[in-house]
């Protein structure tokens, strides 16, 4: 079948590839319609690796996807041919200790699309467990369905933070994940949401599309502590670090009120400076996340209800036949761009 194949570092081809898959009784076969290009896809393209995950043989890209079911396994009862669906891309060992403890995202044997050596979904069709395939409401577009994957990170982060209605929140980092985390916090009941970054173009985007939901802070011209203190001298209830930049950790506790919660989302490349005493004297609770767990239904409901508007995030679209050009463009993405979507041409 035709697929967008990462051959090696810096080399992508749109070509036929044979993927060995068998439809089990609990699986469905899906033709993708919309697939988002993620930062990890671009990183594999540019670097050929992320940490210990190395591209040493051809790999199909893509893990943010929606599509249409074209075949169902004999035991599948909840889905049928023709259903419009989005898919959770990580397939764990459902019998692992992590899965049995309700944290299947931490299963070391998880097979996550487009993570070596697992093929992704940017191909004509693929097989996926029905249990990780979610029907979309009729009013939800395929682009919105593909965005459920990154939105799930924000939804999981807010859930992990233990947010209460009326809480205030600060998100550091206005990339895709920072923006969807801010939107998830607002949609989940935060009364005030701040989003801080040094990239003016990202903040301008947020001001254009989400000014009624999010207050931006330009860290090149504004002092974070001053802006937060104008809102509350105690600080915010929740803080989400979504940049992974080591400088973001300097004095990070200053913006949190005593007893506040901090969630670390971004993944720094190197060790970061974190003042433990500043956290202790405020009894700040620090939590971490890795991807998400049991968030897809919640994310779908937030998007379908209109409480979490994601379509503005799609700032550019390419056809499947233009996949190579799409990845080349994404590798030098202009700062005003947020999410590139691939139209697979199966929107029936």
CATH value at residue 179: 3.40.50.720
Q: Do both 135 and 169 map to the same domain?
A: no
Residue 264 lies in a domain: yes
The string of DSSP codes covering 211-261 is TTT-EEEETTTS-HHHHHHHH-SS-EEEEEE-S--GGGGTTGGGGEEEEEE
CATH number at residue 83: 3.90.180.10
Residue 12, both tokens:
């992508």
Q: Is the pLDDT confidence value at 190 over 60?
A: yes
Q: Do both 68 and 117 map to the same domain?
A: yes
C-beta of residue 3 within 8 angstroms of C-beta of residue 122: yes
Residue 58 lies in a domain: yes
Closest C-alpha among 242, 130, 145, 261 to residue 196: 242
Quick one: average pLDDT of 250-269?
95
d(CA 285, CA 246): 19
d(CA 224, CA 196): 8
Tens-place pLDDT, residues 261-294 = 999 999 988 889 999 999 999 999 999 999 999 9
What pLDDT score was predicted for residue 348?
45
Quick one: average pLDDT of 201-230?
97
Q: Do both 130 and 228 map to the same domain?
A: no
Range of the domain at 219: 153-288
7 DSSP 8-state letter: E
The distance from CA 327 to its chain's CA centroid, rounded to whole angstroms, is 18
Q: Do both 42 and 114 map to the same domain?
A: yes
pTM for the predicted model, two decimal places:
0.95
H-type alpha helices, the chain: 39-47, 97-100, 142-146, 148-160, 176-187, 200-210, 224-231, 276-280, 296-304, 323-330
Q: Do both 240 and 171 map to the same domain?
A: yes
Tens-place pLDDT, residues 307-346 = 999 999 999 999 999 999 999 999 998 889 999 999 998 5
Q: Do both 139 and 184 map to the same domain?
A: no
The domain total for the chain is 2
Q: Do both 101 and 228 map to the same domain?
A: no
């Amino acid at each position: 079948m035709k697929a967008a194949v990462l051959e090696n570092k810096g080399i992508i081809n749109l070509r036929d590839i044979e993927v060995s898959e068998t439809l089990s009784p609990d699986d469905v076969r899906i033709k993708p319609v919309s697939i988002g290009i993620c930062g990890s896809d671009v990183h594999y393209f540019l670097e050929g690796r992320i940490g210990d995950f190395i591209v040493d043989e051809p790999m199909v890209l893509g893990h943010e996807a929606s599509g249409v079911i074209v075949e169902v396994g004999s035991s599948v009862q909840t889905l049928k041919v023709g259903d419009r669906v989005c898919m959770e891309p990580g397939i764990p060992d459902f019998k692992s200790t992590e899965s049995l403890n309700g944290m299947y995202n931490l299963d070391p044997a998880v097979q996550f699309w487009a993570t070596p050596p697992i093929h992704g979904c940017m191909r004509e069709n693929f097989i996926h467990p029905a249990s990780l395939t979610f029907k979309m409401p009729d009013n939800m577009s395929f682009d919105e369905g593909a965005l459920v994957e990154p939105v799930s990170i924000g939804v999981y982060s807010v859930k992990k933070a233990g947010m209460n209605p009326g809480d205030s929140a600060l998100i550091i980092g206005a990339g895709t994940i920072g923006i969807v985390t801010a939107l998830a916090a607002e949609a989940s009941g935060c009364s005030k949401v701040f989003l801080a970054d040094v990239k003016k173009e990202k903040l301008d985007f947020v001001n254009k599309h989400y000014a009624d939901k999010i207050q931006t802070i330009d860290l090149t011209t504004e002092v974070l502590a001053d802006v937060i203190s104008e809102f509350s001298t105690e600080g915010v209830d929740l803080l989400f670090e979504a940049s992974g930049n080591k400088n973001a950790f300097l004095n990070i506790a200053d913006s949190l009120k005593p007893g506040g919660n901090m969630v670390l989302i971004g993944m720094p490349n190197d060790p970061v400076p974190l003042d433990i005493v500043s956290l202790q004297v405020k009894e700040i609770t620090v939590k971490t996340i890795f991807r998400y767990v049991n968030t897809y239904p919640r994310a779908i409901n937030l998007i379908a209800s209109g409480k979490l508007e994601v379509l503005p995030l799609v700032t550019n679209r390419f056809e499947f036949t233009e996949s190579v050009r799409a990845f080349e463009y994404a590798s030098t993405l202009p700062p005003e761009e947020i999410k590139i979507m691939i139209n697979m041409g199966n929107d029936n």
